[in-house]
A and B are shown apart, each in its own frame.
Chain A
Amino acid sequence: MNIFKRLLKNRISLLGLILLLCFVFVAIAAPWLAPPKEGSDPYRIPRRGWSLEPTPPTAQYPLGLTQGQYDIYYGLIWGTRTAFRVGIIVITFRALIGIILGSIAAYYGGLLDEILMRFTDIFMSFPYLIGVVVFVSIFGPGLNNVMIPLIALGWMPYARMIRGNILAIKQEEYVLAARAIGVSDFKIITRHILPNSIFPVLIQASMQIGSIVISVSALSFLGLGAPEGYADWGQMLSFARNWMLGEQGNVLKYWFTVVYPGLAMVLFVLSWNLIGDAFRDIMDPRIQA
């Protein structure tokens, strides 16, 4: 709780928290902010026409319509949900795999530790984004096919971190005492060791949500992520690609196709990074002059 108070006190992280709360609100209130048509999939952005050329903002569609007449306002609102969902799913599984492998390696040590850590090294020597692209080009595009490799190529830092933390805790007296009275390995790890080493890892992991949303959107931008018409910020930006140079004499004619989805993404990622940055300073006791 002390940490939370300090986050509130710091003006930079307070700004981040407020921004983040706004996004949480938008995600929760999506059905009221942008009511989907009865009976249709809410994550499909409605098309307000069939012309390819974007339509500038009007009273009816406040943020305009992007390529293919997809409603930008609707896409942004429901895209917030996509961003949170993707970020949370990827982070949860990354942390889970990292924690399981890291704690097994640290607790048992020896050969098992060596094997698991070399395994980690192999995964680390795979160029991250390229690895995702390999996976997607083999199994075909789609949000799930982007998330799976993002999980598979992202758990290693957590495994290393948790391993380091546990190695430090393992020799503490209360762990030795638990072992002496015959508590099972599984119980020692889950009841005694993890609660004392997991917290910093979980915090670190959740701060990565912003960068995961960037990666997923980048792949959607390349046309490897969400299918066309799915409410996803990266995809809305890939629609903008063909129009951002406007037309002869009016270069900024289609500015709204880039600016609104871009702004949503930058603010979302910024909110996580503002909190994360303040957090790093708080957690690092050396930097407290």
Chain B
Amino acid sequence: MLSYIVRRLLFLPVVLFGVTALIFALISTLGPWTRVATFVPSPDAERHVDLEAIIRKYNLDDPPLKMYLRWVKNLLQGNLGWSQSSHMTVTEAIARRFPATLELTLFAVIPVIIGGIFLGVISALHHNKPLDHATRIMAITLWSMPDFVLGLAVLMVGFGVLGWFPPGRLSAWAELEVLKESFRSFTGMYTLDSLLNLRLDIFWDALRHIIAPVFTLACLWWAFMLRITRSSMLDVLNQDYVRTARAKGLSEKTVIKKHALGNALIPVTTVASSMLLGLLGGVMIVETVFNYPGLGLLTSTAATRLDVPCVVGVALFYAVILVVVNLVVDVLYSIIDPRVRLE
């Protein structure tokens, strides 16, 4: 177990090397100005100074390997370059936007897991009966719904028709309140911070804004979770030990709760990492639709304005999160399922 974790941790730099090398190779094909913005960690790139002078000042005509090493050194120091689209350093932009995305993802994950598992189990227990078909068709339909189509529909109904769920993250008045000195920022997540500051009005406002994007994100992944749980539960229900449990006369409730459910949930944990991946990608679309200022909106705005340093910075940030999450999921998996031997 320990050796497995150590091996995975040793592999982490290899992965990060691969990812950075790939990105570096792509960046090298850029025109001189964009490259300057990528490698020069200051607003200098914005001012129209002499290009030659900048290249000389930062040694941008060094051989690629030297450039790469210096770039990586910068990255390790948290220096990701200058973002032209948000007028601040990329590191600062990520630090400001990340809590918003984290808040959105956390809000979405809980209903997805609980709702998906619950309905998946119900669906499996009614295998090939009307209830199973109904949930299945609903899940496939939701799963076939591109996130931006669903998002547009939710926005149209929730804001356009009902006027309940406005886009954005806070109303203008709350935005001002949050910036005041009396409002202490603990996590950057407004729903949590407002509660800690005992400001229920702001909490209510933040909640109203977050519900529609959370609903959109959750719908898609809820369908995914349901499908995984259903097939894994069906698989377990056909196992010999479940038949034995039934044969010895245990009540159906005990069979399912004590014998089937725990085993059926094992594969569900493995999809958690791919769900997180999907959520991170989906966040980009959903945040754009709802104009919710998180990392996703940052990325899509930066991409349409060809702000390479910002997009690359977010990608690297995501890559690190992803590797860590994958590791945690694998280790958790081996703890939950003693049959899995990590080598």
Residues of A within 8 A of B (CB): 12, 118-119, 121-123, 125-131, 133-141, 210, 214, 217-218, 221-224, 234, 237, 240-241, 244-246, 251-252, 255, 258, 262, 265-266, 269-270, 272-274, 277, 280, 284, 286-287, 289
Contacts and interface: CB of A to CB of B under 8 A. Distances in A.
Interface in B1-51: 11, 14-15, 18-19, 22-23, 26-27, 29-30
B155 interface: yes
B315 interface: yes
Contacts of A241: 152, 289
A137 B83 CA distance: 13
- What's the dominant secondary structure at chain A's contact region? helix
> B interface, by DSSP: helix, strand, loop or mixed?
helix
Interface string B135-148: 01100110111111
25 contacts: A12-B133, A122-B19, A125-B15, A125-B322, A131-B315, A133-B299, A135-B26, A136-B303, A141-B304, A218-B148, A218-B285, A222-B303, A234-B148, A245-B156, A245-B159, A245-B160, A251-B161, A258-B149, A258-B152, A262-B149, A262-B153, A266-B149, A273-B140, A273-B143, A287-B234
B148 A270 contact: no
B266 to A, nearest CB: 15
A-B pairs, top 9 by smallest CB distance, nearest first, are A129-B281, A122-B18, A270-B144, A269-B144, A137-B303, A251-B160, A127-B318, A262-B149, A214-B146
A267 to B, nearest CB: 8
A134 B146 contact: no
A126 B19 contact: yes
B205 interface: no
A244 B155 CA distance: 8
A138 B25 CA distance: 11
B146 A125 contact: no
- Contact residue range for chain B? 35 or more
B277 to A, nearest CB: 6
Contacts of B235: 286-287
B161 A252 contact: yes
A130 B146 contact: no
B90 interface: no
A255 B160 CA distance: 11
B311 A134 contact: yes
Given A125-B15, A138-B308, A266-B144, A284 B231 contact: yes
Contacts of A217: 146, 148
Interface in B126-140: 127, 133, 136-137, 140
A137 B284 CA distance: 15
B271 interface: no
B312 to A, nearest CB: 6
Contacts of B19: 122, 125-126
Contacts of A258: 149, 152-153, 156
Contacts of B149: 237, 258, 262, 265-266
A122 B14 contact: yes
Contacts of A141: 304
A118 B304 contact: no
Given A224-B304, A270-B140, 12 more contacts: A121-B15, A122-B18, A125-B15, A130-B280, A137-B311, A138-B27, A237-B149, A244-B152, A266-B145, A277-B136, A287-B235, A289-B127
A36 B306 CA distance: 34
A256 B145 CA distance: 17
Contacts of B148: 217-218, 221, 234, 237
Contacts of A240: 152
Nearest to A222: B300
B30 A130 contact: no
A256 to B, nearest CB: 12
A137 B306 contact: yes
A151 to B, nearest CB: 14
Contacts of B141: 266, 270
A222 B133 CA distance: 35
Most chain A CB within 10 A, of B140, B149, B159, is at B149
Contacts of A244: 152, 155-156, 160
A222 B282 CA distance: 12
A177 B48 CA distance: 71
Contacts of B280: 127, 129-130
> Which residue of A134, A244, A277, A289 has the most chain B CB atoms within 10 A of its CB atom?
A134
Contacts of B322: 125-127
Contacts of B26: 134-135, 138-139
A118 B299 CA distance: 28
A129 B29 CA distance: 21
